[in-house]
Structure 1
Amino acid sequence: MSETLRVGQALFENGPPARLQRYLGLTKGDQRNIGRRAFIVAMLGWVPLIVLAGIDRSDGVKSLLLGIDVHARYLVAAPLLVLAEAECGPRLNAIVRHFTDAGLVPESELGRYNAAVGFTGILLHSRAAEIIVFALAYLLVCAAAFSLPFDQLPLWHKAGNAITIFSLAGWWHVLVSLPLLLALLLGWAWRFVLWAQLLWRIARIKLRILASHPDGAAGLAVIGYSLRAFSPIAMALATIIAGRSAQIVLVEGALPRDTTAFSAGLLVVIGVSFAVPLSFFTPILMKALQRGSFEYGALANRAGTVFEEKWVGPNRLIDSSVLEQPDFSATTDLYAIVANVYSLRLVPIDLKSAAALGTALLLPFIPVVFLALPVEQILAELRGLLF
């Protein structure tokens, strides 16, 4: 039991590229240095692009500075993926510990629970996973960079001579900036996959849940807080999408309908993906609702019958002293408990967590909206709010 808690306390702080960062001395023990690492990621992925673009060709810097999508990826999204460790890891760890702290796992199932947590910890510490993440990142870069038609490359990415395909900034982009961003994204993808499999395994344990729990999810509502934990990751992904949309608006003056539909669909897919693992507990909650509806419904009927026989009827004399009788408060309390059962949610997602995730996905698109709308129209709408 103590080993499980010890592993769970720092479970999701690990994962690619955590091993490389420890090797480079960026993290030491409990010193995560999150702010410092986020700054290094931004400087490593963005600053050399500006410098090299200016060295290679005179019009390179101007082209790059106008690349909103580049700034969104390397100056915002990449550091945000590092800063997310401060929010996501501790929240997920707290949810994992909650299963034992709240007594949701009975003694007979502790072995299966410990095995699930231990297996997840092993995979999060896997050296092979980290190697695969970086290898896959470079494979994706190669597939994207060398399959894209040359005329579709941004100006700063092209060499100003006939000797090489890419400029100095272009080579830095394909060798450092983009692989670093993809490694961070794939590292979080690996964490999410392991989070999903951990919930899948826990959902198959015979948990000790309570249909009448006031959280409306039989005591499992805390799992829905994972949506808040993944909100920074969602915001980083949305920032990349919004950056590309903003770049299209800047170049073409408007956002094509196909691009708008694709971006909206991608945001929906991202949001649903983070919510899917929570549905693993739906079968458990359905059984709890079915059992609780019969058992608590029968209890409410019996209590209501006794209450009516005692207090309801034409021959019953009611005076002011009736308000002091414990029967009324006891019946009210019982009916409130029964109401909790009938309002049981089949997916442990609360409105605040869903709103936090939705806000994280939509917030990066606010600048895109203002960029797409003419200044005159914005001013006219603002005046309309006042007059």
Structure 2
Amino acid sequence: MPAEPGVPSVTPGLTTDGESAAVDDGASLSLVSGDAAYRLQRRIGLIPAKGLGIGRRLVILPLVAWLPMAIWAALNHRALAGAVQEPLLSHYGIHVRCLVAIPLLLVAEALAQGVMPKLIPYFVTSGLVPADCRDRFRQILSNILVLRDRWLPWIVILGVAFALSTIDSFRQDIHEVAWAASDAPAGLRLGFGGWWYLLVVRPLYVCLILTWVWRLVLLAILFWRVSGLPLSLVPTHPDRAGGLAFVERFAVVFSPVLLAHSAVLSASWAHSVIYHGVEITALRAEMVAAAILLVVVFALPYLSFVRALGHAKREAELEYGVLAGRHGRLVREKWILGKQVGEPPVLDAPELGPVADMVGLYGAVAGMRGLPLGKRGLAMIVLPVVVPMLLVAAIQVPVKDLLMKVLGTLV
């Protein structure tokens, strides 16, 4: 039965809980709301009946992670310099995990909830998905919902997080919890604060990071499947990406995630520089490798459209080349050679215009990008990764010299 005018068509999906999920052209699709982590947090009251409860979680989760550890360290004279050589205060990575990274990962959820419902429907409203492919597009969205709501990825995430913590708990040389350790006849023993960090703080942070990796995988699957549709790309589109440049706006969702992880890494490096005398030059390779890895991983979903854009550009160069050649020959024959060419429609077509406009059309096709990720999208991925690392480098390198080196590499 056809949909009524003004009412969006929907395709029923089925979640792993057996609940039906109505999928329209993407306005109801969310990377966050409805997944297993969301449902669990709603059951325990962290997420209210309406909304994501970002405000309450921004207060509760960081304090639950950081406060018990900080109170124990203060009561046992391990928070400030004195009783131990490197107190809790000196381990910047711990504080950044709790008070900076975790809130940033929650802010990313709010961004995802606001961005996704606006951008996904644009595949349809922009005309990129032809009318005869909309049912296939809705089925793709429905399948993404099913993947999002499965429990298996979350079991894997929890398993990895606690496995890492369990492995660390058997080590005797965990530098990050040296402030909570005491020498004993049986060897190094951790106090409550150290165990809290290993069994609560680190698993919580790793779970949140892996959650966003899973959401990045979901976005990559979505892009890959959509790119397999016969998209109606426009080679002369002013965005230079056939009309697909809007997908770079998805990068804003992952900017806080990149900033969070880069900040944690940089905080650990800062501790090494300040308390262990490590030279920035000794960390250069590690920083560059980490930056490249983060940028590449979070740019991977956009590679899904490379094949479609490349094919569209190659075809358009031939098609518009034929049109430009025909137009140019007729102009030459009529105005240079003085021949009678009649009144061919191609010379009077207002959408083609004079020769200069025709050249502009072909130039637009030739300048079409092979990746729907421009300077703005790259900036949203690269800057959150690089800025915390530059701050660490600024500990030893003067800011002016540092900026000049960065500008030199860019120019």
Common fold by TM > 0.5? yes
CA distance in 2, matches of 1:294, 1:240: 50
1:150 to 136, 158, 173: 173
Cα separation, partners in 2 of 1:167 and 1:362, compared to 1, 3 Å: same
* 2:44 counterpart of 1:24: yes
Query: Which residue of structure 2 aligns with residue 166 of structure 1?
Result: 190
What root-mean-square deviation, in Å, do the aligned CA atoms of Structure 1 and Structure 2 show?
2.8
CA distance in 2, matches of 1:112, 1:173: 47
Three-state SS of the structure 2 residue aligned to 1:165 is strand
* 2:366 counterpart of 1:342: yes
CA distance in 2, matches of 1:287, 1:381: 42
Query: Which residue of structure 1 aligns with residue 102 of structure 2?
Result: 78
CA distance in 2, matches of 1:111, 1:73: 43
| Post-superposition CA distance 1:128-153 (Å, at most 9, x none) | 3333322321112112332x433645
CA distance in 2, matches of 1:65, 1:10: 42
Cα separation, partners in 2 of 1:159 and 1:100, compared to 1, 3 Å: farther
CA distance in 2, matches of 1:216, 1:274: 22
Partners of 1:7 and 1:121 within 8 A in 2 = no
| Post-superposition CA distance 1:235-282 (Å, at most 9, x none) | 111111111111111112333544321121111111011112211111
Query: Which residue of structure 2 aligns with residue 126 of structure 1?
Result: 150
Partners of 2:169 and 2:198 within 8 A in 1 = yes
Partners of 1:157 and 1:170 within 8 A in 2 = yes
Cα separation, partners in 2 of 1:255 and 1:124, compared to 1, 3 Å: farther
Query: Which residue of structure 1 aligns with residue 164 of structure 2?
Result: 140
Quick one: which amino acid aligns to residue 260 of structure 2?
Answer: A
CA distance in 2, matches of 1:73, 1:337: 51
Q: Which deviates the most, 361-370 or 327-336?
A: 327-336
CA distance in 1, matches of 2:123, 2:294: 26
Query: Which residue of structure 2 aligns with residue 50 of structure 1?
Result: 70
Cα separation, partners in 2 of 1:366 and 1:379, compared to 1, 3 Å: closer
Quick one: which amino acid aligns to residue 307 of structure 1?
Answer: V
CA distance in 2, matches of 1:328, 1:109: 30
Query: Which residue of structure 2 aligns with residue 100 of structure 1?
Result: 124
* 2:375 counterpart of 1:351: yes
Deviation at 1:347, TM superposition (A): 1.1
CA distance in 2, matches of 1:111, 1:151: 54
CA distance in 2, matches of 1:131, 1:30: 26
Query: Which residue of structure 2 aligns with residue 197 of structure 1?
Result: 221
Deviation at 1:92, TM superposition (A): 3.6
Q: Which has the higher contact order (CA 8 A, sep 6+)?
A: 1
Greater per-residue helix proportion = 1
CA distance in 2, matches of 1:229, 1:18: 17
2:386 to 362, 376, 382: 362
Three-state SS of the structure 1 residue aligned to 2:394 is helix
Identity %: 27
Q: Which deviates the most, 294-303 or 112-121?
A: 112-121
Partners of 2:26 and 2:117 within 8 A in 1 = no
- In the superposition, the TM-score normalised over structure 2's length comes to 0.81
CA distance in 2, matches of 1:205, 1:162: 67
Partners of 1:72 and 1:243 within 8 A in 2 = yes
CA distance in 1, matches of 2:128, 2:104: 34
Three-state SS of the structure 1 residue aligned to 2:319 is helix
CA distance in 1, matches of 2:143, 2:127: 21
Three-state SS of the structure 1 residue aligned to 2:308 is helix
Query: Which residue of structure 2 aligns with residue 322 of structure 1?
Result: none
* 2:74 counterpart of 1:59: no
CA distance in 1, matches of 2:401, 2:216: 45
Query: Which residue of structure 2 aligns with residue 183 of structure 1?
Result: 207
Deviation at 1:16, TM superposition (A): 5.5
CA distance in 1, matches of 2:149, 2:143: 10
CA distance in 2, matches of 1:327, 1:143: 67
Three-state SS of the structure 1 residue aligned to 2:239 is coil
Quick one: which amino acid aligns to residue 343 of structure 1?
Answer: G
Partners of 1:212 and 1:340 within 8 A in 2 = yes
CA distance in 2, matches of 1:221, 1:261: 33
Aligned pairs (5 A) from 1:297-312: 297-312=321-336
CA distance in 2, matches of 1:327, 1:267: 46
- In the superposition, the TM-score normalised over structure 1's length comes to 0.86
Query: Which residue of structure 2 aligns with residue 371 of structure 1?
Result: 395
Cα separation, partners in 2 of 1:195 and 1:144, compared to 1, 3 Å: farther
Query: Which residue of structure 1 aligns with residue 299 of structure 2?
Result: 275
Three-state SS of the structure 2 residue aligned to 1:134 is helix
Give the gaps of 5 or more residues in structure 1: 316-325, 383-387
After the TM superposition, which segments of 4 or more aligned residues of structure 1 sit over 6 Å from their partners? Answer: 378-382
Quick one: which amino acid aligns to residue 156 of structure 1?
Answer: W
Deviation at 1:205, TM superposition (A): 1.5
Quick one: which amino acid aligns to residue 340 of structure 1?
Answer: A
